[in-house]
Amino acid sequence: MTAVIQAGGHGMRLRELTHDKIPKPLFPIDGIPIIKRQIDTLAREGISEFIIITGHLGDMIERFVGDGKSFGAKLRFFRESIPLGSGGALPAVADMIGHDDCLLINGDLVFDFYLERMIRFHNEKKAEITLFAHPNTHPHDSDLLKTDKSGRVISIDFKNNIREYWYENLINAGTAIINPRVLRGFPRNAELNFEHDIVRELTASGSAIYAYRSPEYVRDAGTPDRLREAERDIISGLTAARNLRNKQKAIFSDRDGTINKDAGLLYKEDQFELSDGASEAIRIINNSGYLALCVTNQSVVARGLCTEDDVRCIHNKMETLLGERGAYLDGVAFCPHHPDKGYPEERPEYKIRCDCRKPGVGMITDFARRFNIDLSESWMVGDTETDMQCGVNAGLHTCLIGNAPCRIKADIKCVDLLDAVQKIIDQSRSK
């Protein structure tokens, strides 16, 4: 697979640091230029051929990387004579690549991810484009991907649109696997935006565009603040640790009574209200090295009070509210089943015994498989005995919040989710 690195922009957002003396991809993070980090990381993941798209101050980039021998790679260049946007060079670059899929990387990204997993997903879906997707701390001013249950992208809601609805926090991270065939119908040497002009048009025409969801580290370092954050994460080891080749640790949280205020049988969006301190707690998880995951029983579906899509809308409200406060969940799972039968309004297809309903461990083990989680280093936080039994069954450490009676001895007891997260992080740091 050939990697295509977009390194032709003017780097306006970073100009207060570069002073337009060097191109943004050559700016050092912890002493190493961004583009060298990118090539070294991708070479470790098995990439040996690169095409670098250059433009503004492109001669400096070309002199720095040369023919790639010093990186143990083969490098070629496509020089933009005029700025072509984030997608304008791609139709011509597609001709340089040939027929094999390529990996597209924005030139201001800091990343470390398990490429083989993404390729496997791309091939299983028979995708024409696979976008690396994840939540972020500012979805309200980001382009959002809308997907169906299979992960297929059905539309993009661009950040300048007015959003009068609750949305899922799912962002294109600036990395994609592309079949170059889909690029050849676009004009050459015309200014194009990759998302607005290429992905949107292909999605509308029915092309197979998929979102690959991963909690791995792929961050834009294109502003001074984000560059400094990326540097801190590199120095702390967080960037490398998030690669899914490595075992992850997670804090699994119940929803009702833990992330949101308990409203009994919550089945309408207007019943949902975040618990005090919940967003702060999840922000702490986001910065801790743990994954933030929500697992919740939602028997309201089996009871006939709402549909699975209604539950997803409630979860979109949860993600929207958290995002407005700079927090995000790496994943949300719910079980719609309930085993007890005999109620007139129930939905028989959901009245089954399953492994996903807590204290069953199906939701936990599914996340463990997807994100390579070490359950022995992870936690279950909830407000009921069912949550604690689920944690025990899954081999998790357990934290009971609130004052509900519980016959299961939890590892720690706390007032609320914020108290729980602070104690868990403190214990982790003291090891």
Q: Hey, what domains does the chain have and what are their CATH numbers?
A: 2-230 (3.90.550.10), 247-430 (3.40.50.1000)
| Average model confidence (pLDDT) across the chain | 95
Residue 389 — very low, low, confident or very high, per pLDDT cuts 50/70/90? Answer: very high
- Considering only CA atoms, which of 357, 354, 420 is closest in space to residue 389? 357
Residue 13 — very low, low, confident or very high, per pLDDT cuts 50/70/90? Answer: confident
Residue 431 has pLDDT above 80, yes or no: no
CA dist 38 and 75 (Å) reads: 13
User: Residues 57, 63, 66, 72: is their CA dihedral positive or negative?
Assistant: negative
pLDDT tens per residue, range 255-305: 999 999 999 999 999 999 999 999 999 999 999 999 999 999 999 999 999
Question: Is the bond preceding 215 in cis, omega lying within 30 degrees of 0?
Answer: no
Expressed in angstroms, the distance from the first to the final Cα of the chain is 41
CA dist 106 and 32 (Å) reads: 17
Residue 11 has pLDDT above 90, yes or no: no
CA angle 302, 135, 23 (to 5 degrees): 165
Q: What is the mean pLDDT of residues 162-183?
A: 96
CA angle 179, 244, 195 (to 5 degrees): 35
Is the separation of the CB atoms in 227 and 17 below 8 Å? Answer: yes
pLDDT above 70 as % of the chain: 100
Is the separation of the CB atoms in 298 and 311 below 8 Å? Answer: yes
Select, from the ranges 217-221, 225-229, 331-335, the one with the highest average predicted confidence (pLDDT).
Answer: 331-335
pLDDT above 90 as % of the chain: 90
Is the separation of the CB atoms in 325 and 279 below 8 Å? Answer: yes
**Of 11 and 157, the one with more pLDDT:** 157
Residue that the structure tokens 């292909």 belong to: 202
Encoded tokens for 209: 């565009």
Residue 10 — very low, low, confident or very high, per pLDDT cuts 50/70/90? Answer: confident
pLDDT tens per residue, range 89-123: 999 999 999 899 999 999 999 999 999 999 999 99
pLDDT tens per residue, range 19-51: 889 999 999 999 999 999 999 999 999 999 999
Encode burial over 101-110: b for 16+ CB neighbours within 10 A, e otherwise. Answer: bbbbbbbbbb
